[in-house]
Structure 1
Amino acid sequence: MIKLIAGKKGTGKTKLLINAIHEAEQASNGNVVAIQIGSSLNIDIYHKVRLVNIEDYNIDNYDAMYGFIAGMLASDYDCTDIFVDGILKICGRDMEKVGAMFDKVAAVSGENTHVTFTISAEVADLTENIKKYLK
């Protein structure tokens, strides 16, 4: 299941994401993963959550990001929640590719794993294929 938190820069997306991560960590009987550029979330997230600096894995496009997430799900059947902060910063601003990746991630994550992305863009600028995942 895909959820999307959208809005222009400075609208509180990361704060909403941090709150969602804390809620998932409290409710989950499995593993919670947070993917980010750098280490900005490290001080805000509980130690039980696995933090991943995506720069360590040279992920810079949507096909690579899909493969990374699918690989996580394939190797960790106990993964209940994945959070990705700043998908456009990680992979680029091609909205068609964003939507296509969301569809592929939704297909592999199923109903048992929640994958939440933040996207720095006005809702009006999103394609319909992306808007269907808005939280």
Structure 2
Amino acid sequence: MIHVFCNKRGSGKTKALINLANEKVLNAKGHMVYIDDDNRAIHELHRDIRFITTTNLNLSDHESLYGFLCGIVSENYDIDTIFIDGLSNIVKVNIREAEVLFKKLEGFCKNFNLCLYINMNDDICNELPDTIKKYVA
């Protein structure tokens, strides 16, 4: 299952995603991963949530992000929830690439029985096609 949160920069998306992760970890049956483009959230997350920063990983496009997510799950099959804070900060994607990415992520979530929560900035959200809008909360 994929959940997308779209709003303007500075609207509190990150704070809300951190709070959601901290709430969900209390009743989680599997492991949780929080992915961000910087280290700011590391001390705000519950210690049972694995934090990964993409700062030095050189993720350049939607394909590298998808491969990165596959690597995370292949390393630990007990992961059931992944949070991605700031998709457009982690990789640069246009609308067409976003559609391809979300189609892959849909299959990824089904294959590995994952919940995926993604924060996106308003600048890309205004142009979302229906194939992605169905995930917007």
CA contact (8 A) 1:70 1:105 kept: no
Report the TM-score, using the length of structure 1 for normalisation. 0.91
The aligned counterpart of 1:12 is: 12
For 1:114, give the aligned amino acid: C
For 2:120, give the aligned amino acid: I
Q: CA deviation at 1:24?
A: 1.9
Matched, 1:133 2:112: no
The aligned counterpart of 1:124 is: 126
For 1:108, give the aligned amino acid: F
For 2:130, give the aligned amino acid: E
What is the rounded CA distance, in whole Å, between the counterparts of 1:65 and 1:93 in structure 2? 11
For 2:64, give the aligned amino acid: A
Report the TM-score, using the length of structure 2 for normalisation. 0.90
The aligned counterpart of 1:113 is: 114
CA contact (8 A) 1:34 1:82 kept: yes
What is the rounded CA distance, in whole Å, between the counterparts of 1:14 and 1:98 in structure 2? 20
What is the rounded CA distance, in whole Å, between the counterparts of 1:78 and 1:30 in structure 2? 5
The aligned counterpart of 1:100 is: 100
Runs of 5+ consecutive residues of structure 1 not aligned to the other structure:
none
Runs of 5+ consecutive residues of structure 2 not aligned to the other structure:
none
Count of aligned pairs: 135
What is the rounded CA distance, in whole Å, between the counterparts of 2:49 and 2:23 in structure 1? 11
What is the rounded CA distance, in whole Å, between the counterparts of 2:52 and 2:95 in structure 1? 24
The alignment's C-alpha RMSD in Å is: 1.5
Matched, 1:73 2:35: no
Q: CA deviation at 1:93?
A: 4.0
